[in-house]
Amino acid sequence: THFGFRDVPVEQKQKLVAEVFSSVAGKYDLMNDLMSLGIHRVWKRYFVATAQVRPGDRVLDLAGGTGDIAALLKDRVGDTGELVLGDINGAMLRVGRDRMTDRGNVRGFEYVQCNAEKLPFPDASFDLVTIAFGLRNVTDKAAALREMHRVLKVGGQARVLEFSEVTADWFKPIYDFHSFKILPKLGSLFAGDAGSYQYLAESIRKHPPQAELKGMMEAAGFARCGFRNLSAGIVAIHTGYRV
Ligand code: SAM
């Protein structure tokens, strides 16, 4: 376990993030349900339902992990659409591919092990690029946002779903208690791993809040950037366009 790796150097951080996700890959879905009381499913549905996407589109889901977003997006792009799941972690991608295959989702899916900071795709190759609960883990977020912009076609949309800053004052102490007391307990009880969930709470607090992330998207070249808070800012959806 690795408590409090707040100030570790960049190369070490990347390695630690890899360890966190390799260690939780098998329990990842169960833990999401437990930690959020199932609400992450609602956030993900909303994220996909409001995406700018049409049948036949080619979509990249970055940090796609176990495939929740890709499975939902498949319904929107239909049989003629294509979904590329990109993730830096082979263990998460394998869980994703197995789950997708179990659900009968085979045609139109591609799995690519890649770092969001340096994408192995040509310019202008996707109609939509999504990243859900992933940007927080990326070391060089500015680079990842520039890459998302680069691989989008003109007119295409980028969408970021991520934990953000809680806006309701009364809720903050409850949220902190949940993050720092309950989460690590759930982690050790159900995943045998308190450290990874300690990391989760810390990474959420360090992630740029709503307005700052919007500014970062603008700096990466996106136009018409905006965000929408869900559940009082526990998470936010940021959008931007390539024009
Ligand atoms: N999008 C999925 C979801 O919403 O359930 C998975 C989110 S999971 C919390 C974060 C994922 O980000 C992990 O699968 C991890 O391997 C991946 N990840 C972390 N750093 C990354 C990077 N630099 N590039 C690509 N993926 C990365």
Q: What is the CATH number of domain 10-24+38-166+208-241?
A: 3.40.50.150
Choose which residue among 14, 15, 16, 21 to substitute to test ligand 1 binding: the one with the highest number of ligand atoms within 8 A of its C-beta: 21
Distance, in Å, from the CA atom of 239 to the CA atom of 115, rounded to the nearest integer, reads 21
For residue 132, the surrounding DSSP H or E stretch is strand 126-132
* ipTM of this predicted structure: 0.98
3-state SS assignment for residue 236: strand
> Would you call 79 helix, strand, or coil by DSSP?
coil
Q: Which residues of the chain fall short of a pLDDT of 50?
A: 1-6
pTM of the complete model:
0.90
Q: According to the model, what pLDDT value does residue 47 have?
A: 98
Query: Is 25 marked within a binding site?
Result: no
pLDDT of residue 10: 66
> Which residues approach ligand 1 with their CB closer than 6 A?
17, 21, 62-66, 68-69, 87-89, 92, 115-117, 132-134, 137-138
The reply to whether 33 sits in an annotated binding site is no
**Domain locations in the chain?**
10-24+38-166+208-241
Separation between Cα atoms, residue 44 and residue 171, nearest integer Å: 22
pLDDT at residue 3 in the model:
36
Of 183, 200, 139, 134, give the one whose Cα is nearest residue 161: 134
- C-alpha distance across the termini of the chain, in Å: 44
Q: Which of 187, 199, 181, 183 is nearest to 27 (CA)?
A: 187
Residue located nearest, by CA, to atom 11 of ligand 1: 63
Q: What is the pLDDT of residue 33?
A: 86
Ligand 1 centroid to Cα of residue 170, in Å, is 31
| Residue 99: per-residue pLDDT | 87
DSSP 178-195: IIIIIHHHHHHHHSS-HH
